[in-house]
């Protein structure tokens, strides 16, 4: 009985801590959004893309070990751009293709999908990593950065307006970019959990992915496909 009470108390404390951090994250996000310099963040973004392309492990390490979390604004810009790309494509499909119908609810779900995808993965990693104290914003930043390949994939989707046959080229590239993003999650897990051995990091990575897919499956009942 005593052990159950301790477990319940611990769970309650964990829930309260998560709520507190969620509130702090929301407040910080609002403040950061007010002070975004698009030109500056564009330069940071280009720099991150170059680093991810040439030395992804070093780029992830730099983001995770950044005590000032200077890349959080960049992460927010990445999230906004990804959501906007989806929104604009939905609107263009409605304008260009006769068979496409513009449905408000479906469009809202599509637009918030990348936001939920990043948040779900970040929160899962953050909860599992409760022993290594760090702000939730740091995890959100790291996850957002490794989603850059998927943002590039969303840009490639616009090439279909030039020719539908372009999908023979863009489809395999998009699949490859998706694989890259998934592989980068492993290195984020390795850095955030401070695991030197690949075997230990792989176990945590598998756990994160399993939980994520369970969460993604649950969202499907709401018509949201992460």
CA atoms within 13 A on the CB side of 197: 4
Nearest to 37 by CA among 73, 66, 86: 73
Please write the tens of the pLDDT for every residue from 129-173. Answer: 877 678 888 999 999 999 999 999 999 999 988 888 899 999 999
pTM: 0.88
Please write the tens of the pLDDT for every residue from 1-33. Answer: 555 555 556 666 666 777 777 787 878 788 878
Q: Are 157 and 88 in contact (CB under 8 A)?
A: no
Q: Are 122 and 143 in contact (CB under 8 A)?
A: yes
**Cα(61)–Cα(59) distance, rounded to whole angstroms?**
5
């Amino acid at each position: 009985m005593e052990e159950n009470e301790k477990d319940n108390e611990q769970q309650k404390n964990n829930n309260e801590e998560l709520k507190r951090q969620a509130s702090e994250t929301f407040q910080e996000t609002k403040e950061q959004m007010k002070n975004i310099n698009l030109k500056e963040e564009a330069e940071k973004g280009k720099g991150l893309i170059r680093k991810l392309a040439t030395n992804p492990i070093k780029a992830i390490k730099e983001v995770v070990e950044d005590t000032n979390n200077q890349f959080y604004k960049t992460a927010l810009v990445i999230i906004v751009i990804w959501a906007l790309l989806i929104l604009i494509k939905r609107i263009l499909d409605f304008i260009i293709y006769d068979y496409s119908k513009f449905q408000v609810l479906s469009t809202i779900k599509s637009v918030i999908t990348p936001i939920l995808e990043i948040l779900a993965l970040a929160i899962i990693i953050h909860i599992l990593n409760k022993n290594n104290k760090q702000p939730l914003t740091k995890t959100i930043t790291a996850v957002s950065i490794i989603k850059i390949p998927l943002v590039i994939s969303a840009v490639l989707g616009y090439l279909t307006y030039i020719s539908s046959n372009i999908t023979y080229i863009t489809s395999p590239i998009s699949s490859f970019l998706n694989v890259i993003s998934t592989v980068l999650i492993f290195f984020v897990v390795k850095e955030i959990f401070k695991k030197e051995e690949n075997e230990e990091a792989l176990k945590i990575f598998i756990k994160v992915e399993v939980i994520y897919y369970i969460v993604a499956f649950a969202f499907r009942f709401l018509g949201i496909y992460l």
